[in-house]
Structure 1
Amino acid sequence: MRDKSVPLSEVLQLDINAVDIDANTTYEMSGVYGFGRGLFHREPLRGSETTYKRFHHLSVGQVVLSQLKGWEGAIAVVDPENSGRFLSTQFPTFRCDEERAIIAYVGWFLKYAPNWHALRRKSRGMGARRDTISPEKFLSLKIPLPSLDDQRRIVERLDQVAALVDERRNAIEAAERETRALLLKAFQRAIDGAPLRPMAEVAPLMRRPVEIDLDASYPELGVRSFGRGTFHKPDLLGADLSWQKLFLVQQGDLVFSNIKAWEGAFAVAGPDDHGRVGSHRYLTCVPTQGLATAEFIWFYLQTSEGLGKVQSASPGSADRNRTLGQGALEAITVPTPPIGRQEWFDRLHAKAREARGIRASTAKDVEALIPAMLHEIFDGRAKAA
C-alpha cells in the first residue's frame, strides 16, 4: 500500500534568519549547485560590494531553495561545512518538523528529479533566467510520508549506496589522474631532445572549399572545447547558405576552431567525421607524412606548454575576440621526434583512451544507481498539488 502523501508545508516551515548587511563586514558566502548536488563555497563578499540590504544566515539542517534555479534541482540541505555562511535573499530557508519527517529523508526526496520538473511547471516568468519559484509553490509539492522508522530505513539504505558511489567515483577519478600522469611522463620521454618545427612544416594548413549546391544538404562538424573531441551538428541546407563558406573535413585532419582554440577546441577528425564540413571558423591541418602524426601533435598542443602556444597565437581581450589566425597557427612550433617514437606513444595513448572509455561506462552505470533508487522509492507518490 502506498504511503500517505502530504504537502511539504506539513513538514517544512519558513525559517529565515535575515541579517542586515554591514558595509565594513566580510561575509562567507555559499551557493547551491543544480541537479541536487548540494551547497558549495563562494568567494567571500564584502558588504560594500553588494546592493543587497540583507543576507540569509544558514544553519545546519535547514532546506535551501533557489527561487531562480530550484526547477533544475538547486535545492539543498545545509551541512556543517556551510552552516554559519550566507546566501542572498533569493534563497529562502526552511526548517523541518522532525516529529513528522526526518530531514535526511526530505533531503533525499528533494534530489528526486521529477520534483524539479513539477517546480518547473509551477514557476513563473519569461524565459529560464526569469523563472522564479515562490516558497508557497515549493511547499505545495507533495511528499510521501511513511513512518519515521521507515524513513530511517530508507535514509540508511540510500546513504549506504551513496557512500559506495562516492568511493567508486573517487577510485575512477584517481585512476584518471594516474593515467594522465603516466601519459605525460611517457610523452616527455618521447620528445626528449626532439627538435621544434613550425606547424607550417609539420602539419600545414589544408583548406578544401566546398562549392555550394542550393539543392544539397551538408553535414556539419563542430569541435568541443577542453580537448573533448568533435561533435556533429544538424545538416546545413545549400539554399540557406547565402554567405557562409564551407570547407571539407577528412579523417586524420587536425581541426581547429579559430575562436575557441585558446581553450582547447581542436581535435583529430575520426572516421565518422570524414566528409563532413566546417564553417570558415574551422581550420584544418594535415600532418606531413613521415614527419608527424595528428594524434601526437594534438596531445602536445593539449599540454600546458602546447596550449600556452595556442593561446599566445590567439590574441584578444574577450572570448569571441581571441581568434587564432592562419599564419599564427602555422608559426606554432611543436616537438618532432622520430616518427617511430611518435607512433609508439600514439599506441600507448590509444590504450589509455580505451581504458578511459571503460571507466567512463562504469562511471555512468555507477552514477545511475541513486536516480534508479529514488525512482523506486518515490515514483508515483511524489506528485505536485
Structure 2
Amino acid sequence: MTPALIDYAVDDVITLVRRPVLPEADKEYREIGIRSFGNGIFHKEPVPGHEIAAKKVFRIEPNDLVFSNVFGWEGAVAMASEAERGMIGSHRFMTYLVNKEIADARYLLPYFYGGPGLDVIRQASPGSAGRNRTLGIKTFGGKRVGLPELAEQRRVADKLDAAAMGIEQVTRTKEHSRSLTLQHADALFRSVERNAPLSKALKESSDFVAVDPDASYRTAGILNRGRGLFLRPVINGSDTKYPRYNRLHKDQFVYSKLFGWEGSLAVVTDDFAGVHVSHEFPTFDIDPEVADVEYVTHLARWRGLHDSLKDQGTGMGSRRQRVNVGRLLATEVPLPGLPEQRRIAKQLTLARKVTDGGAAQVEQLAVLRRTLLDAAFSGRL
C-alpha cells in the first residue's frame, strides 16, 4: 500500500545556508565537486588561497545537503560528511540544512538525486542542457514536494542504506580487482628485457574510401586510457565534412592522432571490422612474424605505453597535442620473441576476463540501484 504523502514547499523541508569564506593567501584550501546521478562528493587538489582569491567560495559542513546548481538536473546532489569538514565549494554549490522535524536527510538525498525530487529540480532548471540548465534557487524553494510521515521516511532510508552498503562493498571489490589487473600487466610488460620501436611490429595500412553523399556510414572513435573502440551514431555522407573515410579491418592497430597522448589506442575486433574512421585515425597491420595480435591488444591498453606518448604530442594546449605517425612508430615498447609474447598475452587475457566479468556485475548493480529507487518512492520497498 502506497503511504499517504504530505505536501510541503521545498523551503519548508530544506533551508539554504551560505557560509562565505575569504581565502587567505598563505593557507591551502580544498574544493569539492559533486558527481552526477547521486554518485557522491569528490575532493579537488589543494590550492593556495592566492589562487582562488577572486572566487566566491563557501564553507561546507557535515550533514549539508549539497546541490550543484549547474548539474542538479542530472542528479548532482550529495550529503557532506566528516570527510568534507573544513572544505569549500564555489558559488555553484548550494548548501542546505534539513528540517529534522519533517524530513530525514537519508531519505531526501535519494529522493532528490533519483526519486520524485529530481523532477522538481528539473522543473526549476530551465534551459536546454548542460550549463544552460541552472537551478533557479527561488523557483526551487517554492516548488511542492510530497513526503511520507517521518517514520516511513526512516524505514525506507534504512532499507536503502543497507542495500547501498552492499552495492558499495561489491563495487569496491571489483575496482580493487581491476587495479590488481592493471598492476599485473604493468609488472609483466616491465619484466621484458628486450625493447623495440613500434615500427618493428606495425606497418602503415589504410583503406581510404571516398564519401558518397547518398550513402550512410557506421563510424567509430577510441576511448582514452586504452579502453577501446566505440561506435558513433550512423552518419549520412552528405552530413560529414570529410571527403573520405578510413575503413577498419580486423586485427589492425589504430590510434587517434588527436588523443594518442591520452592513450586512445586499440586493436580492431570483429565488431568493428568495416566501420569507418576519419583520416585522424591512422591504421597499421601487425606483422605476424614480429608481434602477436593478442599481445599488441594488451599493449594498447598498457598505461606504460600511454605514459610514453604523453610527451610525444605536437602543438599548443592539451587538445592540440597531435601525436604524428612518426613519433608513434618511434616509441619503444617491450617486444620479446613471439613465444614470450603469447605467454604474457595468455595471462593478461585470463585476468581481463575476470575484470570484464566484474565490470558487467557493476553495471547490473547500477540497474539494481535504479530499481530500488523506483520501488522506494512508489511504496513497494
Structure 2 counterpart of 1:279, which letter?
S
Which amino acid counterpart does residue 333 of structure 2 have in structure 1?
A: V
1:121 aligns with 2:123: yes
Q: Is the CA contact (8 Å cut-off) linking 1:36 and 1:76 kept in structure 2? A: yes
Moved more, 42-51 or 163-172: 42-51
How many Å separate the matches in 1 of 2:57 and 2:348?
Answer: 50
State the partner residue of 2:251. 252
CA contact (8 A) 2:23 2:53 kept: no
Structure 2 match to 1:291: 290
Contact 2:13 2:102 in 1 (8 A): yes
Alignment deviations for residues 93-142 of structure 1 (CA, whole Å, 9 cap, x no partner): 22222121222222232232553344223213565213222233323454
1:271 aligned partner: 270
The residue type equivalent to 1:156 in the other structure is D
Aligned to 1:63, which of 56, 62, 65? 65
Distance 1:320 1:29, change over 3 A: closer
1:243-274 CA-partner distances (Å, limit 9, x unpaired):
53322210000011111111111101011111
1:332 paired residue number: 331
User: What is the match of residue 82 of structure 1?
Assistant: 84
Q: What residue is the counterpart of 2:261 in the other structure?
A: 262
Paired positions, count = 378
Match of 2:147 in 1: 145
Distance 1:205 1:26, change over 3 A: same
- Matching residue's letter, 2:263: G
Moved more, 18-27 or 295-304: 18-27
Instruction: Tell me the equivalent position of 2:187.
Output: 185
CA RMSD of aligned residues (A): 2.8
Letter of the aligned partner of 1:340 in structure 2?
P
Cα distance between partner residues in 1 of 2:26 and 2:238: 61
Which residue of the partner structure matches residue 3 of structure 2?
A: 2
| Residues in 2 aligned to 1:41 and 1:242: alpha-carbon distance in whole angstroms | 40
Code of the residue aligned with 1:203 in structure 2: it is L
Larger mean CA deviation between 68-77 and 105-114 belongs to: 105-114
Q: What code does the residue aligned with 2:219 have?
A: E
1:262-291: per-residue Cα shift (whole Å, max 9, x none)? Answer: 111110101111122221101111111221
Partner SS, residue 351 of structure 2: helix
Q: Which residue of 1 aligns with 2:229?
A: 230
Q: CA offset at residue 27 of structure 1?
A: 4.0
- Counterpart of 2:171? 169
User: Could you say which residue in structure 2 is the equivalent of 1:49?
Assistant: 51
Unaligned runs of 5+ in 2: none
| Matching residue of 2:96 | 94
CA contact (8 A) 2:248 2:272 kept: yes
| Counterpart for residue 136 of structure 1 | 138
- Cα distance in structure 2, aligned partners of 1:308 and 1:40: 25
- Matching residue's letter, 2:183: A
Is the alpha carbon distance of 1:51 and 1:72 closer, same or farther for their aligned partners in structure 2, counting shifts above 3 Å? farther
Partner of 1:202: 201
Q: Could you say what secondary structure the match of 2:7 adopts?
A: strand
8 Å CA contact retained: 1:21, 1:47? yes
Instruction: Indicate the larger mover: 271-280 or 62-71.
Output: 62-71
SS across alignment from 1:59? coil
2:112 and 2:121 in contact (8 A); partners too: no
Kept in 1: contact 2:65–2:79 (CA 8 A): yes
Q: Quick check: 1:205–1:330 contact (8 Å CA) kept in 2? A: no
Shift in Å, 1:151: 2.2
1:13 match: secondary structure: strand
Aligned pair in 2 of structure 1 residues 50, 274: CA closer, same or farther (>3 Å)?
A: same
Contact 2:38 2:113 in 1 (8 A): yes
Mapped partners of 2:55, 2:279: distance in 1: 49
Q: Which residue of 2 aligns with 1:106?
A: 108
CA contact (8 A) 1:63 1:76 kept: yes
* Alpha carbons 2:204, 2:282 under 8 Å: kept: yes
Cα distance in 2 between the residues matched to 1:112 and 1:276: 37
Judge conservation of contact 1:249–1:273 (CA < 8 Å) in 2.
yes
Q: Distance in 1 between matches of 2:240 and 2:372?
A: 49
Contact 1:256–1:282 (8 Å) recurs in 2: yes
